[in-house]
Structure 1
């Protein structure tokens, strides 16, 4: 494994990247096109960077396939986010950004998050309660997304999105302050 200073630094960078990945929400809030382009690209790069930095921890013999799948899933998700930002440059295509996020990227996020938390659980590099919370929160988000897919939108279901956001914020802060086990 790596020395503790490098490992600590890597954990902090991953925490910052998790926070950066959420910057794509700024366009939904502000509708500022320039800001949307920049934050979508930053978010996409952050999403791709996280699994790359985690490879030394995740890529064990027993996790090889899960790690590869996780890397592929997050790379596609990140590229979709970057595409969402690039689309904002062309006024006639701007409406497709919402379609990318709502109808495609969300599924890569869910599947990638599930793999991420399973790998975190298996490697024990963070406390297990964070991994379990992440798995449960991801499954809750999946349920909400499936209901929306079938046109069922109930306010109480939308609240099931909150646990994954809180989990990822908690995890990011944990990694920045505490690092890996």
Structure 2
């Protein structure tokens, strides 16, 4: 049974929740292992989403370049005016559709890293497994470290959307500005 914990929740209910949580996680190490597995799982999801997005974008770029190189004298001019513009629009729409899934995975990873860092701060002995040097240093569990590693995935849809806007505008410009050739 799930419970909603609010500021008005009585202390006895919170103690029950803490006891229930202790039963789920036998020790702080079990909790840390759980957080690490969740981070790894969500990172894999983010990588898969980014890979699928980049694959789709690469095919769109190839199709766009092929359409722009059409030299058919009968219908090539109209084709190179219409089809690349639609491909650029498709690239923009796919970027806008990819963004929420990528951002959601990033937010979930951020959540689990936060939980992990709170656990490591609340249980300083956890890092001291075999010697006096901590197992997890601040750079390994800080927001700054992992966020930098996820920036590529988070920025890619916006970069491709800008790329498609510029490329679509350029394709229209060279076709409309130079109608005789």
TM over 0.5: no
Higher helix share: 1
- Shorter-chain TM-score bucket reads 0.3 to 0.5
Give the TM-score of the pair, scaled to structure 1.
0.36
Q: Which one has a bigger Cα radius of gyration?
A: 2
